[in-house]
Each structure stands twice: as C-alpha cells, then as structure tokens.
Amino acid sequence: MRVLGIDPGLTRCGVGVVEGDVGRPLRMVDVGVVRTDPALPVARRLVTIEKGLEAWIEEHRPDAVAVERVFSQHNVRTVMGTAQASGIAMVVAARREIPVALHTPSEVKAAVSGSGRADKAQVGAMVTRLLRLEAAPKPADAADALALAICHIWRGGAQSRIENALQRAASR
C-alpha cells in the first residue's frame, strides 16, 4: 500500500509518501512541504496548496491519502487556515477517487510512538527509526506527514481489510 500523508497548514503543508503493509517493513518514498507566501491572499495560497498536492498525487500515485483531522483548542485564526488546507487536500484526493482518511493527532502519535501524548521530537525520532532514515525530516510538518502515512498503513489499512472481509461475508 502506498499512502500520501498530509499535515495540513496554510503556510507549510507537510507531505510524505510511505509504502508498506501491516507486519512488513515500511519505506519512505518521498517527503517535503508545500509552502505558501503569507503575504498573498488566502485564496491564492489555497490554489498554491492545491497545485502542490496535485503534483504530489500525480507523481506518486498513492492508494490512499491520510489527512490530519483538524481540531481547535485556542487559536481560531490558525485553525481556520489549517481547516481550509485540509479541505483542499480532501478535494484533490476525492477528485481522483482516492480514498481519504482522517486521523487525529493523538491517534497518529499513539500509532508511531505508543503514546497519544508524544511531543514533536518523539514523533520525529520514531518516524526516523521506523523508516530507517539517517535523520528526522525537517521541518516537523514533513515528519508529521510521514507519521500520518504510517498511522494509516498500520491502522487504516488494517481497518479497510476488516471492512472488506465483513462485506464479503455479508454478501455470501
């Protein structure tokens, strides 16, 4: 399974592609960040994100897209930009009929580190270890995108297989 993980953000949108299956070694295919100029109007920035994500999907042809589920604790302004970028990510994937999954930050942290309360440094260290990289991807948005892809392979991929098996059993 090849998964494009997307850590949505209006200024830096982390992207990472991971290949693998449950119980097998994972492999990083590519990692990066789609950046936008904060001086531009929001609409132009969203178009930049859309074009960047389209290029990633076109180049890497993922089987699924995993996007971080947006939540807000305090800063509504920041969460608005993140939510807008998240929506663009979902539309770009849906337009190509690629399955989209949303994973919460704590779900991703628990999947890669064993603790839903892990900090960014712990997530980066575990992503580095799990993908056998020489160094943690920078910035943290890129490492978070890889963590999303890993989480989806381990949790979403398994969940998808369970759902397919249940559907096959029900149709018999």
Whole-number Å distance between alpha carbons of 169 and 172: 5
In Å, the largest CA–CA distance within the chain is: 58
Question: Is 7 within any annotated ligand binding site?
Answer: yes
The residue from 7, 19, 107, 144 that is catalytic is: 7
The residue from 19, 58, 59, 68 that is catalytic is: 68
The residue from 19, 107, 141, 144 that is catalytic is: 141
Q: Where are the beta strands (DSSP E) in 21-140?
A: 27-35, 64-68, 100-103
User: Catalytic residue at 7?
Assistant: yes
User: Catalytic residue at 19?
Assistant: no
Sign of the Cα pseudo-torsion (86, 6, 36, 124, in order): positive
Question: Is 119 within any annotated ligand binding site?
Answer: no
User: Catalytic residue at 144?
Assistant: no
In degrees and rounded to multiples of 5, residue 35 shows phi and psi of -110, 150
Question: Is 97 within any annotated ligand binding site?
Answer: no
Q: Rounded to the nearest 5 degrees, what angle is found at the Cα of 20, between the Cα atoms of 14 and 24?
A: 135
Residue numbers belonging to the annotated binding site for Mg(2+): 7, 68, 141
Catalytic site residues? 7, 68, 141
Residue numbers belonging to the annotated binding site: 7, 68, 141
